[in-house]
Amino acid sequence: MPNLSPDSPPEQRIGEIIRRLRREHPDACCALVHDNAYELLVATVLSAQCTDERVNKVTPQLFSRYPDARTMAEADRSDIEAAIRSTGFYRNKAKHIQEASQIIAYDYAGEVPADMDQLTQLPGVARKTANVVLGVAYDIADGVVVDTHVKRLSNRLGLTENSNPNKIEVDLMALVPREDWIDISHLLIFHGRRVCNARRPDCPNCVLNDICPSAEL
């Protein structure tokens, strides 16, 4: 391994970044509690502008009442809204969840499709949600999940100069080996929550501080 520094090109640093983050966060995984692809899809839609912790408090009762796409599709919209109200933007989320559930129930026989194009045609499902479902539920590396933590850390680590999530995803897909596309998001998210937070990153105790161009800032 060459001598690495914060100024080393990202393609030289990325392997060491992944190695260190795996060692630091061996428990990195999807934080949304779910039992199947459908529950994960719904939970991910609910997680927009909301913490995973809050979603995990809402979903047990929600899935107990509506355990599959058909029951959600046939539910009273106002009941869904009431059940997810605390996650914020509950009217739009309820609309998207129910409309997506109708398509899954009636067009896909209740099974969430394992295909990027089909997923992103579902109401309320953009690439981020589709990547979560594909990677976590189906172990399919079709892209890289870019949430607020991944966006922040990718910029701080000098892995991208873009601020648009779609462009960041393209940059990470070009930089990160495909076999690490799923894991890199979990690793960056856990590191962002535990060490490199938005307001006060803990640079002195960061395992990446000697190869991070933002550490001295």
Has 35 been annotated as catalytic? Answer: no
CA 106 to chain centre: 27
145 closest CA partner among 31, 35, 9: 31
**Which residue among the candidates 52, 68, 115, 147 is catalytic per the annotation?**
147
Q: With contact defined as beta carbons under 8 Å apart, do 175 and 14 qualify?
A: yes
**Which residue among the candidates 52, 93, 128, 142 is catalytic per the annotation?**
128
Q: What is the rounded radius of gyration, in angstroms, for the C-alpha atoms of the chain? A: 19
Reading the block at residue 130, the tokens are 């589709």
3-state class (DSSP) for residue 153: helix
Has 147 been annotated as catalytic? Answer: yes
> Can you tell me which residue has the tokens 């939970």?
43
Provide the H-helix boundaries in 33-132.
37-46, 52-65, 69-73, 77-84, 90-107, 116-120, 127-132
**Phi, psi dihedrals of residue 46, rounded to the nearest 5°:** -65, -25
Catalytic residues: 128, 147
